[in-house]
Amino acid sequence: MSGTSAAPASEPLRRFLQVARGAGLRVSAAEGIDAARAVQMIGYADRDILKDSLGLILAKTPEEKAAYEEAFELYFKRDDLGAQDEAESDEQKRPWQQQQGQQGGEGMGGSGGQSLGQLLEQDDRAALATAMEQAARESGIENIRFFTQKNLYARRILDRMGLRQVERDMEALRQSGTPEGLGRAQFLEGRVDQLRDSVRDFVERNLILFAKGETEKFREELLKSARLSNLERRDLDRMRVLVRQMAKKLAARYAKTRRRRLRGQLDIRRTMRRNMGWGGIPFITVWKQKRIEKPRVMVLCDVSGSVAPMSQFLLMFLYALNEALSDIRSFAFAGSLIEVSEILEKEPVEQAITKIMETIGFGSSNFGNSFADFEDGWMQHVTPKTTIIILGDARGNRTDPRTEIVSRMSQRSKRIIWLNPEYKSAWGTGDSDMYRYAPFCNLVTVCNTLRHLERAITDILEDAV
């Protein structure tokens, strides 16, 4: 194989790879080089061969193949710049068009190359499409990100194509008052309208192409930071996807039992044993290591009406993290408390959560009674390695808060983390007992967004490292 490297990717390919990444394809640098080599060999003339070749290099999963198909068709589609008129014979051409053809295309815009006015009068669709694409590159179309920028980029492209000069020439033709001038101006006006429509369509297509990745990221960041109680129903499916993505990311980071090397501390006993074959000469050193255990978690979720959305996402998040967390036991409560671990283990998490909510959810909360149920049935399972997470607004409808039970839970466990979906300004107001429970908790924090939830779970995992 030749040792020469492939030529750099052409501009169209570079932009397409940018589009492909924005559409969700994971295109590595090596794959970009392979794509450049493929384009160098086959060119752009045969779109079917180009599509198949790049598809084999760039798209790896069924989802990526579907995204690639859509991105390719959208990116390599070329405008026809309006519907094609019926073919005109030489006799049907307007006099100025016949004269232009005889004079070799000389007209508006001066000599030294065809102006936009000439291309419009000659209806040269291929040349107009090429000019539009060139003007788009010069205007930085790949930087478009928002729907509100459509008109801005459309005007930039038209200006770079020379529309201002065409508009001035059209006005001059109208001012001439001659039938030929008025007819010519009217003809150009129709062609300009077609051009504007084509440019707007071109800009919108590029908005979809280049802004898709950024728009998706912006939407995800918005959903992660939005209060869960404010989400619309149409956002819930997307939120579930985000929960799984976030949990997968954390699980990949913390899933395996890790060991931290205590640098500088030689394990003399194991080093001597390892080197017995060399008469005890320490050719192979063994360093002391600290075993890092997975955190053990018990989750108590308030599923009363006021905090039910947050509880559902917490349960979904924790069970997506089951590779990173061991011995997860989950409990749901409103007026009383039940364990829901078995339901969540045996059924798909979305269906399990629906079943839990139908069983015990949406009622009036009674924290004191629920804590008493937990002490009677499960307190013996709490150990000094157990982290207890309580999700709730601490509003017990003026019932006995039973803070002494939370005190005993604190003494037996490693720590208690209380996630409250209410803003801190509401704690202690009305029937809120948050400040009564707070002294027995290691951490009490506001948690009403996915971002808050991710941070809280990350802190639990970090503490185990």
Whether the per-residue pLDDT at 3 is higher than 50: the answer is: no
Q: Which residue among 56, 75, 94 closes a domain?
A: 75
Which of 346, 352, 347 has the alpha carbon at shortest distance from 311? 352
> Quick check: helix, strand or coil at residue 432?
strand
Residues 205 and 131 grouped into a single domain: yes
> What's the confidence (pLDDT) of residue 62?
82
Residues 378 and 323 grouped into a single domain: yes
> What's the confidence (pLDDT) of residue 9?
45
Which of 230, 243, 224 has the alpha carbon at shortest distance from 353? 243
Band the pLDDT of 78: cuts 50, 70, 90: low
Residues 68 and 144 grouped into a single domain: no
Q: What are phi and psi of 24, to 5 degrees?
A: 110, 5
> What's the confidence (pLDDT) of residue 181?
84
Task: For the chain, give the mean pLDDT.
Answer: 77
Q: Which of 39-48, 74-83, 446-455 has the lowest mean pLDDT?
A: 74-83
> What's the confidence (pLDDT) of residue 4?
38
Instruction: Give me the half-sphere count of Cα atoms (radius 13 Å) on the Cβ side of residue 310.
Output: 29
Structural domain includes residue 272 = yes
Structural domain includes residue 177 = yes
| Residues present in the chain in total | 465
Q: Which of 242-246, 272-276, 321-325, 443-447 has the lowest mean pLDDT?
A: 321-325
Residues 176 and 253 grouped into a single domain: no
Q: Which contiguous run of DSSP H or E holds residue 156?
A: helix 150-161
CA 341 to each of CA 153, 182, 294, 370, 384: distance values in angstroms, whole numbers, following the listed order: 55, 81, 18, 16, 21
Residues 312 and 436 grouped into a single domain: yes
Residues 389 and 415 grouped into a single domain: yes
Host domain of residue 206: 114-224
Which of 375, 373, 366, 424 has the alpha carbon at shortest distance from 395? 366
Structural domain includes residue 92 = no
Q: Which of 32-36, 94-98, 305-309, 364-368 has the lowest mean pLDDT?
A: 94-98
Band the pLDDT of 82: cuts 50, 70, 90: very low
281 vs 438, higher pLDDT: 438
Residues 435 and 330 grouped into a single domain: yes
Structural domain includes residue 90 = no
Cα 41 from Cα 50, distance rounded (Å): 10
Q: Which residue among 206, 224, 242 closes a domain?
A: 224
- 73-103 CB burial, b ≥16 within 10 A, e <16: eebeeebebbeeeeeeeeeeeeebbeebeee
325 neighbors 268 (Cβ within 8 angstroms): no
> What's the confidence (pLDDT) of residue 450?
80
Which of 316, 322, 359 has the alpha carbon at shortest distance from 339? 359
What total of structural domains would you count in the chain? Answer: 4
> What's the confidence (pLDDT) of residue 31?
86
Structural domain includes residue 83 = no
Which of 212, 296, 289, 299 has the alpha carbon at shortest distance from 258? 289
Structural domain includes residue 98 = no
Structural domain includes residue 138 = yes
Mean pLDDT of the 399-417 span: 94
Structural domain includes residue 193 = yes
Q: What is the pLDDT of residues 175-221, one digit of tens each?
A: 888 888 888 888 888 889 889 988 988 888 777 777 666 666 666 77
Residues 305 and 453 grouped into a single domain: yes
Band the pLDDT of 84: cuts 50, 70, 90: very low
Residues 303 and 442 grouped into a single domain: yes
Whether the per-residue pLDDT at 462 is higher than 90: the answer is: no
> What's the confidence (pLDDT) of residue 434?
95
Q: How many CB atoms lie within 10 A of CB 341?
A: 15
The dihedral through the CA atoms of 117, 121, 126, 127 has a sign that is negative
Q: Which residue has the tokens 């390919």?
A: 13
CA angle 331, 337, 342 (to 5 degrees): 40
32 neighbors 18 (Cβ within 8 angstroms): no
Residues 323 and 415 grouped into a single domain: yes
Residues 276 and 327 grouped into a single domain: no
> What's the confidence (pLDDT) of residue 382?
93
> What's the confidence (pLDDT) of residue 95?
47
Mean pLDDT of the 392-401 span: 91
Residues 255 and 186 grouped into a single domain: no
